[in-house]
Structure 1
Amino acid sequence: MGQLTVMQVRNAKPSVGPDGKRRKRVLVDGAGLLLIVAPTGARNWVLRIKNGQRRRDIGLGAADIDGAGRNALGGNGSQPDETPLMLRRILSLAEAREKAAALRKLAKAGGDPIAERDRERRATPSFAVAVTEAHAALKSGWSDRTAKAFLASLEEHAVPRLGTAKVDVIGSADVIAALAPIWTTKPVMARKVRSRIGQVLAFAKARGWRRDALPDARELRSGLAKQEQSKNFAAMPFIQIPAFFTDELGKDATASRFAVLFAILTAARSGEVRNATWAQIDLEARTWTRPASMMKMAKGHVVTLSDAAVALLKQWKPDEALRDGLIFPGLKGNPLSDMSLTKALRTAGRNETVHGFRSAFRDFAAERCPTIPAMVAEMALAHKVGTTTEQAYLRSDLRDLRRSLMDAWGRFAAPSLSSVAPNVTAIRKTEAR
């Protein structure tokens, strides 16, 4: 029977010397089990054993003084601690006695109690292994693109620094050290890597490989340089688009040039246009049905095609027999690269981005179509609209309203391809009287 009581453990305080300074205090429970109270007040269990004439002190863990308990699985005083005894770092008096007895018995049998104490802890995987395990377990809920990006970004930017570290010992300082080389030079990627490191550590904690809390976001921000404020995609003012469109339409018909013009008329992303196929187009219904696999939000989306968009497609491929496969194929029938569309803009003497045409469309919708709800323009851009609750109740895709908006955009951007004249009146300068 041990000498200490739960109340004594809870109330144990350091010794106070003649000079008034606090000093370490050692309380003996018996059978080699000691409670060490540090000058700071921290209380830790230690098992003292003798191997011949040699004395060994083996740390068992901190004393659980409030009865709350803490373990890798999130247990508390009202729930059983399912963490293996040798892995527990906060021990009640009874748990300390049990752990000490097991290690003492092992030592008497000639075993190594420290090796036994750390045996299960050594089974904790490294960060590199945890990345692979997390990817394998979580990828079924991601798109193929997201799964590949998750793995590639961590292998390039996190594993070289954190790969060999056990997931249970990685803290804020380690994450900061991994992120620092790219934090200001590649800010967008750095933020993604930070989030993905957090996902891996959260996964490790859920698996019982980690007990400590995840690195604190405030500590990470404090330890990293301030990033420059993110810049929007360079966009052409929407008022300039009709002239630009007309000028480009009068040039040689190339896949990259017509892809840019189609991106303008559909307010689509570059990748969506480059991977568009004729099978997705219904010229009679005037729709472009895009599958979830090609969408950023991994949700299928139908674009309503204006008269101008339909006319552009027919001008690009007048022969119906040739309307097969990719609409705007690159070399050897492969999709165009993103750079090919950018090059088309640079050749035209423009410094904006293809993505910026989406912003121009949004500005047009706000300024020239004020009677159409903002939600319609957002849905036309394939953005998420409203809160989760609002999305649950909004069952319509507002296609009729979106068609009206896209038709107005087509008439404005490409009047020569539209069946009716644009609803735009030029404002001429008049002489002063």
Structure 2
Amino acid sequence: MPKKVSNRLKAIEVKSKPSGRHADGGGLYLLVKDTGARSWVFRFMLKGKARDIGLSNCPEAAEIMAKENSRELTLAQARVVAEVYRSKVRQGIDPLAERTERAAHALATAQAGKIAKITFREVAEAHIAANSDSWRNPKHRQQWANTLSTYVYPAIGDLPVAEIGTAHVLQILEPIWGTKPETASRVRGRIETVLDAAKAREYRTGENPARWRGHIDQILPPRIRLSRGHFTAMPYDTLPEFMQGLRSRQATAALALEFAILTAGRTGEVLGATWAEIDLEKAEWTIPAIRMKAGVEHRVPLSKRAIEILQSIKALQGPSHRGLNSGSRVETSEKPVFPSDRGGKLSGMAMTMLLRRMKADVTVHGFRSSFRDWAAERTSYAHEVCEMALAHTIGNKAEAAYRRGSLFEKRRRLMDDWADFCNGEGVYDASVTPIRGAVA
């Protein structure tokens, strides 16, 4: 049996050995590369397999070098480390597998430490940045930022998102739950969304402490929801008289409100209208998909009175838009149809304040309900015609397929009848079916 080699190398030889593998004994080798770089390797046998493990950067070597204040692993130090590994092998421990496991644990610990420092504010801002492009309404991003900055960040913005619990959520919601129910509900929903995003990114675990159903609803009373009165509607029978008073007012807000009523349009759709969307010759208003709630382009037939309103607005603005006086559609004009005195489009508050001055306890959006009630109770137009006039989202596939047909002319007749009704004409008795409605 060959004699085992032990401590063959001498310290003075370590710096002068040529490239190759030089045995010191007991599995310890000096590895010299062609570049002259030197390192220590320990070779061991475990379960019939030979394996190599580097010593120069191992934790045991680092500990010894730190104690002895040395910059490189010396021969003597390498022998000490090799003996540590020999002892492990004798115990059946794989030093290489152990090192891999240690490294994985250290990495996991470091990552956990980093994750533990991620704050609610960081997750919220990342969520807003990632999703804002998909929010059609530019105000939505601002509302998110404002509500979080006002109500959430002062309380939990700088807290680790992994540590936020029910007590933190209640700290934010309880002061405003009774006084600002709508705002409080939105704040709760946004906190819930941010915490869901944090969980999806594995920044936190467990249930969402801002969840309403089965959690917060067991602590806070139900929010007092505004019923249909939130969009308080004017009884349609009183509308002709209201329209007479509205037409007596000389203001852009009055014209915009009347146009909104006649077209059954939403406030944002009307105030965001530009001359490029209007075709006076065809009596049509085409609202692009990007401005529609359902994200689908909507064509609105314009009644005779609606056209008169546009022409009066055009006259007020003067002949500054080439082609407007000819009655043709002006594709190049992106100026608002209903401008404010300070430039830009008219504010939605202008119509709301007008209603207050007229002592009308209704909302602009409520006139859409007035239109729908009138259409259902005083005409025989088909349900899908009335719903399409309101640009409502289609829920039934069969109905959606039907609506793709030729309903535009039927909607034109509907809107003409609505304009006549608003003007005090054709005020049908509930028991009488209008001739035009009968064929719709």
TM-score by length of 1: 0.64
Q: Deviations over 1:158-214 (max 9, x none)?
A: 222221222222233322322222222222222222222222112111212122132
Task: Say whether 1:230 aligns with 2:226.
Answer: yes
Q: C-alpha distance in 2, partners of 1:422/1:355? A: 24
CA distance in 2, matches of 1:394, 1:332: 41
Percent identity between matched residues is 37
What residue is the counterpart of 1:326 in the other structure? 336
* Structure 2 counterpart of 1:177: 171
Query: Are residues 389 and 185 of structure 1, via their aligned partners in 2, closer, same or farther at CA, if it must alter by over 3 Å?
Result: farther
> Counterpart of 1:137 in structure 2: which amino acid?
A
Q: RMSD of the TM alignment (CA)?
A: 3.1
Aligned AA for 1:365?
A
1:132 aligns to what? 125
Q: Is structure 2 residue 426 aligned with structure 1 residue 405?
A: no
- Cα 1:192–1:283 change in 2 (3 A) is same
Three-state SS of the structure 1 residue aligned to 2:220 is coil
- The one-letter code matched in structure 2 to 1:132 is E
Match of 2:190 in 1: 196
Q: Which runs of 5+ in 1 are unaligned?
A: 1-100, 107-112, 416-420, 428-433
Instruction: Tell me, yes or no, if structure 1 residue 376 matches structure 2 residue 373.
Output: no
Residue 279 of structure 2 is matched in structure 1 by: 282
Distance 1:426 1:398, change over 3 A: closer
Aligned equivalents of 1:287, 1:188: Cα separation in 2? 37
1:264 aligned partner: 261
Asked whether 1:342 is paired with 2:352, we answer yes
Distance apart, 1:117 and its partner CA = 4.4
Q: Answer yes or no: is the 8 Å Cα contact 1:379–1:397 preserved in 2.
A: no
- CA drift at 1:294: 2.9
Residue 220 of structure 1 and its aligned partner are, at CA, apart by 0.8
Give the Cα separation in 2 of the matches to 1:140 and 1:393: 33
Match of residue 120, structure 1, among 104, 107, 112 = 112
Match of 1:6 in 2: none
Q: How does 1:33-432 map to 2 (within 5 A)?
A: 117=109, 120-124=112-116, 125-143=118-136, 144-215=138-209, 216=211, 217-231=213-227, 232=229, 233-249=231-247, 251-318=248-315, 321=319, 323=324, 325-369=335-379, 371-387=380-396, 391=400, 395-396=404-405, 398-415=407-424, 421-424=425-428
CA drift of 1:105 comes to 7.2
Cα shift readout 1:103-136 (whole Å, capped 9, x = no counterpart): x979xxxxxx999847624424111000011112
Q: CA deviation at 1:262?
A: 0.9
Verify the 8 A CA contact 2:339 2:346 in the aligned structure 1: yes
1:354-396 CA deviation, whole Å, 9 max, x = no partner?
1211111111111112x32323322222221214786578544
> In 2 relative to 1, CA 224–138 (structure 1 residues): closer, same or farther, beyond 3 Å?
same
Deviations 1:292-347 (A, max 9, x none): 33333343322121222112222443488355622221113222222211222222
Larger helix proportion, structure 1 or 2?
2
Aligned equivalents of 1:270 and 1:361: distance in 2? 15
- Aligned equivalents of 1:398 and 1:203: distance in 2? 43
Unaligned runs of 5+ in 2: 1-97, 325-332, 432-440
Cα pair distance change 1:207/1:254, threshold 3 Å:
same
Q: Indicate the SS of the match to 1:349.
A: coil
- The structure number with the bigger radius of gyration is 2
